[in-house]
Structure 1
Amino acid sequence: MAEQLVTLNDVAEAAGVSLSTASKALNGTDRISVATREHVRDTALRLGFRHNALARSFARGRSQTIGVLTHRASNPFSRVVLASTATELGAREQAMLLYDARFGEADMDESILQLRARRIDGVIVVGTGTSHATPSITDRFDVPVVYAFTFTEEPADVIVTADDVRIGRTAAARLLATGRRRIAHITATADDEAVQRRMAGASAVLAEAGLEWAADVRYGRWHEGWGEQAAGDLLDEVPDLDAIFCGSDAIARGAERGLRTAGRRVPDDVALIGVDNWEQLMYDQSSQRHLTTVEVGLEQIGRLAARQLLDPEREPGIRFVDPQLVIAQTA
């Protein structure tokens, strides 16, 4: 026998209120007392009542659907942001409509047209990092727009993203705390904005300790091969080097190979720290950590972006999430 569905009328009768009051309590509309609202909601939960989402969307004049625009959803970093965004939206009974496209002008225009044709209540733009600005599309929608794990050059936009300056500060502070003083930095291209902010944060911490970089910052690529090459070059220039802050975990993995090839022990001779917490992103989370790194806060970014979008009192500007130090074997 099929299980009988609990209706709104059942909830009203069990709670001892009118059908109208039960509807208002569960939909969050009109002014009723907090005590009545909580009583009706507790009753609905006890009975196992579930809203008819379609009927509720018509009643509210909203679809309870959020459009999410991404730049390569397969990107490992974007995937984490998307997953936590979807979880947060689901917990708030919101559906997610995903559009995955390059952020080039033609692709962006097509995605915007498709999203505008849908009955959506808001848009979340998920980027792949903080290296370069994403074009602002806020004025092309008549619903709220929030940007996650990226940034724009529009001060009025609502943005939730990683704090690159604090990431750099966290990495440098960890190396100093382990007694290192001859510290170098290997990172990506000099025109990358994340590179510049992370370096600025780390440089400030060194300056506060009365130190400078042990060698000129090595600018290159977000690749292991570059990390390996740069580490070898650094040892030729600074044989007593005792630590390297790498702009990413990929660079750090390469740097470790370069150090071991040169006969240096990690971390005994040279400590290493990266950024991204790549081992947790790509491998079994129960496996033993090897690389000390700085987690940029991808899950928090996704959750906070969803909350900001659904907050009627959201304010423009950038909201940074706090990075977290992940201590393992290399520093």
Structure 2
Amino acid sequence: MADQLITLSDVATAAGVSLSTASKALNGTDRISQATRDHVRDTAVRLGFRHNALARSFARGRSQTIGVLTHRASNPFTRIVLATVATELGAKEQAILLYDARLGDQDITESVLQLRARRIDGLIVIGTGTSYPTPSLTSRFDVPVIYAFTSTEDPNDVTITSDDTAIGKLAANHLLSKGRRRLAHITAEPHDHAAQRRAASATQALADAGLDWATPVRFGRWREDWGEDAAREVLAEVPDIDGIFCGSDAIARGAERVVRASGRRVPEDVAMIGVDNWEQLMHDQRVTRHLTTIEVGLEEIGRRVAAQLLEPDPEPGTQYVAPQLVIAETV
């Protein structure tokens, strides 16, 4: 039978059982002895039988397909979450149906209609970060919806995302643990939710240690050129600054260039820490780490989202993934 399509009937005949018993054994349904179940499964493996996933899913009233809606699938952060979700769901014989769209009310309508027409068993909405909330789509679907690496304005939405409050605290405490006391913080726009939370928790960590920033927090953009501009301001105001917490690795790259160009050594004179683990995102495990940074937990977000979507009743509300410190040369 090596060159033929092996059917369930072939398995039943080879195992010496009825077609009904073979079906029950392979689908894990009804009460049959474990010995019979094992015998049928061993026979199926020996013959090279593969379930017809589509027929089986229709029999169960499920499509075994999960919809995935992204804002920009090419975004490096989105790619990590998406790849992890696909791997985890694939291991559980779940297919994914990907729609990439701008997550605005008008732009998303067509994708919502198409996803609803495809008999998906659930929906994962993957954002590009925690800076701004994603519109809640939960009420538009009659299947479970989980949000990954984003937030929504509905506190009852099932959301799994990074913990900006923990990120800011971890960064500040790491610099303090290395004896740095004259610290600065360079981050993104003041109305950016991620920037706000990271700055607030880092400020609190300093206050708990009886300290404050050596210069006011610099709010600007998640960009390398802003890191350069802000670092020049910081060094002009506080020449003996000994530590800088940058809200992102992009900001840190620009700031470090300016610090080194000023004649100061990193980390001997000025320790620096970023956020995102960008070097790992853009390279492989063999890359030589340079920037001390904080990993926000993208793979863990993907794993948890995939696992919880398959649970009968995912717990409503926001779950935060703990950040991880990635130690390298700049602290």
When normalised by structure 1's length, the TM-score is 0.92
What does residue 231 of structure 2 align with? Answer: 231
For 1:140-194, what per-residue CA distance to the aligned partner results, in whole angstroms no more than 9, with x for missing partners? 0111111011011112211111111111111112111211111110000110111
Deviations 1:218-272 (A, max 9, x none): 0000001110111111111111111000000000000001101211111010000
Structure-2 separation of matches of 1:37 and 1:247? 56
The answer to whether the aligner puts 1:289 opposite 2:276 as a matched pair is no
Q: How does 1:193-272 map to 2 (within 5 A)?
A: 193-272=193-272
Distance 1:160 1:179 in 2: 34
Rate the CA distance shift 1:111–1:240 in 2: closer, same or farther, 3 A.
Answer: same
**Match of 1:275, SS?**
coil
Decide whether aligned partners of structure 1 residues 247 and 45 sit closer, same or farther in structure 2, where only a CA change above 3 A counts: farther
Single out whichever of 105-114 and 8-17 deviates more from structure 2: 8-17
Q: Larger deviation: 41-50 or 156-165?
A: 41-50
1:1-331, aligned counterparts within 5 Å? 2-9=2-9, 19-30=19-30, 44=44, 48-331=48-331
Distance 1:162 1:13, change over 3 A: farther
Alpha-carbon distance between aligned partners in 1 of 2:273 and 2:249, rounded to the nearest angstrom: 8
Q: Flag the 1:227–1:302 CA change in 2: closer, same or farther, 3 A.
A: same
Shift of 1:26: 3.5
Provide, for residues 13-43 of structure 1, a one-character-per-residue CA deviation record: whole Å limited to 9, x for no partner. Answer: 7778664454334434446678876776566
Output one character per residue of 1:286-311: Cα deviation in whole Å (capped at 9) or x when no partner.
Answer: 11011110011111111211111111
User: In structure 2, do the counterparts of structure 1 residues 154 and 22 end up closer, same or farther at CA, with 3 Å as the change threshold?
Assistant: farther
CA 1:36 to 1:270, structure 2 compared with 1: closer, same or farther past 3 Å? farther
Q: Could you tell me how far apart the structure 1 residues matched to 2:202 and 2:33 are?
A: 52
Distance 1:217 1:266 in 2: 21
C-alpha distance 13-225 of structure 1, shift in aligned 2 (>3 A): same
- Asked whether the 8 Å contact 2:123–2:146 carries over to 1, the reply is yes
AA of the residue aligned to 2:320: F
Question: Which residue identity does 1:330 align to in structure 2?
Answer: T
Show structure 1 runs of 5+ residues with no match. none
Structure-2 separation of matches of 1:39 and 1:314: 36
Unaligned runs of 5+ in 2: none
> 1:200: Cα distance to partner?
2.1
Question: 1:211/1:87 Cα in 2 relative to 1: closer, same or farther (>3 Å)?
Answer: same
Distance verdict in 2 for CA 1:25–1:291, change over 3 Å = farther
Q: Secondary structure at the match of 1:300?
A: helix
Q: Using a 3 Å threshold, how does the CA distance of structure 1 residues 72 and 15 change in structure 2: closer, same or farther?
A: same
Distance 1:147 1:214 in 2: 38
Matches of 1:214 and 1:33 in 2, distance apart?
72
Letter in 1 for 2:68: V
- CA 1:165–1:41: 2 relative to 1, 3 Å: farther
Identical pairs, percent? 73
**CA–CA separation in structure 2 for the residues paired with 1:301 and 1:55:** 32
Deviates more, 1:296-305 or 1:42-51: 42-51
Moved more, 90-99 or 277-286: 277-286
User: Structure 1 residues 265 and 66 mapped into 2: Cα distance closer, same or farther (>3 Å)?
Assistant: same
Larger mean CA deviation between 251-260 and 206-215 belongs to: 206-215
What is the CA–CA distance in structure 1 between the aligned matches of 2:156 and 2:314, rounded to whole Å? Answer: 11
- Show CA shifts across 1:103-148 (max 9, x none): 1222111110111111211111010000011110101011111101
TM-score, normalised relative to structure 2: 0.92
Deviates more, 1:244-253 or 1:64-73: 64-73
Tell me whether 184-193 or 114-123 shows the greater mean CA deviation. 114-123
Taking only aligned residues, the RMSD between alpha carbons, in angstroms, comes to: 2.2
